[in-house]
Amino acid sequence: MDYLASLNEPQYEGVVNTEGPAMIIAGAGSGKTRVLTYRIAYLIKEKGVDPFSILALTFTNKAAKEMRERIATVVGSNARNLWMGTFHSVFARILRAEADRLGYPSNFTIYDADDSKSLIKTIVKEFGLDDKVYKPNVVFSRISSAKNRLVSWQEYVNNPIYAADDETAQKPEMGRIYKTYAQRCFKANAMDFDDLLFQTNVLFRDHVDILNKYQHRFKYVLVDEFQDTNVSQYLITKKLSAVSQNIAVVGDDAQSIYAFRGANIENILNFEKDFPDLKVIKLEQNYRSTQNIVNAANSVIARNKGQIKKKVWTTNNDGNRIDLIKSISDNEEGRFVASAIFEQKSQNNYKNEDFAILYRTNSQSRAIEESLRKSGIHYKIYGGLSFYQRKEIKDLMAYLRFAMNTADEQSFRRIINLPKRGIGPTSVEKIVVAAFEHDIPLWEVLNNVNAFLPGRAANAVNDFVTLIKSFQIYVQSKDAYETASHIAKNSGLLKELYDDKTVEGLNRYENVQELLNAIKEFVETPEVEDKSLGAFLQDVALLTDQDNEDPDNKDFVSLMTIHSSKGLEFKNVFIVGLEEDLFPSQMMMSSRDDLEEERRLFYVAITRAKENLYFSYALSRYRYGRLINCEPSRFIEEVDPSFIFVNTRYGSREPKLGRNDGPPGFNANFARNLMANKKSAPKKPLQYHKPSADFRPSDTSGLQEGMKVEHPKFGFGKVSKMDTSGANKKAKVIFEDFGEKTLLLTFAKLRIVE
């Protein structure tokens, strides 16, 4: 068995002791992921365990793919049947299967962060709140953090703790926004990313039979990067393995870098309490990096107070010292990095794929990209604006999503007037508000639109509905590729792009073609059983950027944030932008804990390198549209100097300040204030009526002028006029708080008071 022979003693223990709870907390590069991989191979091959009953949770889809490939080399095609993927992808699959228990249809849409934020923006606007105070980003992350702590909106609105916290943060309307956001998602048959975990918890909490089913199905549960699981994820794994007790987790507390997203290091400490029979395995030998790199990493992490003490050592060569590169500007930094790559490649026979450039924030990639492009070095950016975030792709995807799920409000808003059909934002608002106020599905409003909109707009909407219905016939009878091509053509999207003969237009046209290619590839993959549009959309919703690789050219330098480099390894690693306020980040410096988290991030970055490591900083850099002076990061000084080589080969010249801060007299703040003042003052927030406890809609066939009625949202009012002329009977009601409204009696829920 050569795969077992390649393991050291404690690794071997970790692989073959498959029964009962096990935990490996060990340093970077010590083979944790390898143990997990081989443990699965061992279960299948040696213990004859059915791959269907093994659930392995990884941090990225890329990691899952690599693991599966490695397992396949040992066990063969059987590896296909493993349940392996990120928490989100695995539980989305389970949620689809059990959706009806939660009141969702199984074809629910998954909202990405953009969808969520634009919904939040709409709500903030509808409430007449100030979007400078209620920034979509901030509101979104507060909601996300609540969900990841398993706080439902009901609990959020009722528990004064949250209200107090929101008062302090000067966001007193948070509860109301969370509630409306959650209700609107539900109404749109949509779950956001956090819901995938939150709802799984609800499912397992409220439906014991389902929990039982999966507890018996998954006899073995394995989790990689355990230090970054949040409370919500931890609870799911704990519940799933409560019966079998066969849970194996691996992680490194020194690499915990998602505290801001609710990941909770306490999970490691609780694990021992939750599984008293726990077997703990220590791995100390690092197989990845040179002595210098391992020791440099140790010297950095030793400064953190909060950590589980462990030794990490290696028998690898000393290797080179860390190259420290100083540049005058971010552009020069880019050039130095490109020259260093060029030089290494020609002298030491490295390929592009042997290099990674890691940075703290995505925006740092621009200068680096520019110089790589000029030097003709092929590179790939992970993260940032990925293929699926481009406008034209999102447009077509919205059509596909809407054809699948006509309750999907965000997709509806995107496509209703695209290409232009003369349906303006006011009509769109009327439609959405009608669905909300009458509490009926969006699709029902669209199908009865003449009742809600005046003639011309209504006709345009009717055409749209007919179009979507024709798409639905495809959805039901054809595969994803035929359906998507048909929709791309007949929606008018492709034609519009085709007619746009600019370079960007052409590019966009090609991107849409590229999406169709991807769908074709999906349909033609033999392993894919379900070739429907729904299956494809599900696949895509869970894609991380790391999955869209250009299959024709695999030899590229990788550019990514340190966060997305977790678990990966490269022969040569550049950590760029090592400057105060950038890394450690200014935003993360409010406490000692934050600084420790930034330091763990630095530790993660260092430990990605196998052979050579470079630190780089610039003395000036463009940030927020201004040129600012920078100081070297404190982290550079924290590394024992005996491991560092100050590289003067790329020797810096005296500062040359050629660039300025934008056009003369330009003052970004002033401009921003000017814009802000143009906006009208916030309106008084809408406060809907709470229906009386005994509210029951009455039969309104006998409704007459002068009668007093109660509406579940608008409260009490008096009927001022009846209109029985058209096909749809209408009543004009003057409400005490909301003024005059015209209601359609087919839809309106009214209680006749007297």
Ligand X SMILES: Nc1ncnc2c1ncn2[C@@H]1O[C@H](COP(=O)(O)OP(=O)(O)OP(=O)(O)O)[C@@H](O)[C@H]1O
Biggest CA–CA distance in the chain, Å, is 92
Site for ligand X in 193-252 (CB under 6 A): 252
131 contact choice in Mg ion, ligand X, none (CB below 5 to 8 Å, kind-dependent): none
Binding ligand X (rule: CB under 6 A), the pick from 186, 287, 387, 738 is: 287
The reply on whether position 313 binds ligand X by CB under 6 A is no
Our finding on whether 33 is near ligand X (CB under 6 A) is yes
Nearer to Mg ion, 531 or 566 (CB): 566
Q: Which of 643, 610, 615 is nearest to 360 (CA)?
A: 615
| Residue 299 burial class via C-beta count within 10 angstroms: exposed 0-12, middle 13-18, buried 19 and up | middle
Say how far apart CA 326 and CA 189 lie, in whole Å: 52
Stretch that binds Mg ion, among 91-99, 500-508, 559-567, 743-751 (CB under 5 A): 559-567
Catalytic residue among 112, 115, 192, 225: 225
Q: Pick from Mg ion, ligand X, none: which does 564 bind, CB < 5 to 8 A by kind?
A: none
- Report, in Å, the least distance between residue 609 CB and ligand X: 11
Q: Kindly tell me which of 63 and 338 has the beta carbon lying closer to ligand X.
A: 63
Q: What is the rounded CA–CA span in Å between residue 221 and residue 223?
A: 7
Q: Any residues with CB less than 8 A from the CB of 84 and at least 6 apart, and which?
A: 54, 55, 56, 57, 58, 64, 67, 68, 90
Binding string, 545-584, against ligand X, x = CB under 6 A? ----------------------x-x---------------
Residue 347 has which token pair? 């002298």
Residues in CB range of 679: below 8 A, 6 or more apart: none
Report which residue's Cβ sits closest to ligand X.
Answer: 31
**Complex with ligand X: residue 29 or 175, whichever CB lies closer:** 29
Q: What is the x/- site pattern for Mg ion, positions 147-186, by CB under 5 A? A: ----------------------------------------
**Binding map of ligand X across residues 594-613, x = CB under 6 A, - = no contact:** -------------x------
| Residue of 32, 39, 335, 566 marked catalytic | 32
> DSSP secondary-structure letter at 532?
S
Active-site pick, 11, 33, 180, 227? 33
Q: At closest approach, how far in Å is the CB of 457 from Mg ion?
A: 56
DSSP 700: -
Residue 68 or 219: the one with the smaller Cβ distance to ligand X is: 68
Q: Which stretch binds ligand X (CB under 6 A): 29-37, 117-125, 147-155, 351-359?
A: 29-37
Q: Is 288 in the site for ligand X (CB under 6 A)?
A: yes
**Alpha-carbon span 232 to 238, nearest angstrom:** 10
Number of residues that bind ligand X (CB under 6 A): 18
CB 322 within 8 A of CB 64: no
Please identify, among the stretches 22-30, 50-58, 571-579, 667-675, the one whose residues bind ligand X according to the rule CB under 6 A.
22-30
Whether residue 224 lies in the annotated active site:
yes
Residue 457 binds to ligand X (criterion: CB under 6 A): no
Crossing angle of the two packed helices 231-240 and 136-148, in degrees rounded to 10: 30
Instruction: Give me the catalytic one of 62, 380, 608, 749.
Output: 608
Interface with Mg ion (CB under 5 A), residue from 21, 31, 175, 567 = 567
Which residue among 29, 175, 319, 334 contacts ligand X (CB under 6 A)? Answer: 29
- Element (H or E) spanning 598, and its range? helix 592-606
Under 8 Å between Cβ of 430 and 445? no
Q: Segment contacting ligand X (CB under 6 A): 30-38, 321-329, 335-343, 382-390?
A: 30-38
Q: Between the CA of residue 446 and those of 397, 455, 492, what are the distances in Å?
A: 20, 14, 20
Give the count of alpha carbons within 13 A of 8, CB side only: 13
Question: Is residue 244 part of the contact set for Mg ion (CB under 5 A)?
Answer: no
Residue 358 contacts by C-beta under 8 Å, 6 or more apart in sequence? 560, 561, 562, 565, 573, 574, 575, 576, 605, 608
**Catalytic-residue membership of 608:** yes
CB of 185 to ligand X, least distance (A): 34
- Residue whose CB is less far from ligand X, 33 or 61: 33
| CB contact at 8 A, 431 and 449 | yes
| Residue positions forming the annotated binding site for ATP | 26-33
C-beta of 89: minimal distance to ligand X in Å?
20
21-60 mask for Mg ion (x: CB under 5 A)?
Answer: -----------xx---------------------------
Residues 99, 103, 106, 108: is their CA dihedral positive or negative?
A: negative
Backbone angles phi, psi at 570, to 5 degrees: -140, 150
Minimum CB separation of residue 255 from ligand X in Å reads 6
If one counts every other C-beta atom within 10 angstroms of the C-beta of residue 398, the result is 23
Is 33 labeled as catalytic in the residue annotation?
yes
Query: For residue 407, what is the DSSP state?
Result: T
Q: What are φ and ψ of residue 98, in 5° steps?
A: -115, 15
Report if residue 32 touches ligand X, rule: CB under 6 A. Answer: yes
- Closest separation in Å from C-beta 561 to ligand X: 16
Q: Which of 371, 370, 368 has the alpha carbon at shortest distance from 359?
A: 368
Positions marked active-site: 32-33, 224-225, 255, 608
Residues contributing to the site for Mg ion (CB under 5 A):
32-33, 567
Residues contributing to the site for ligand X (CB under 6 A):
6-8, 11, 28-34, 252, 255, 287-288, 567, 569, 607
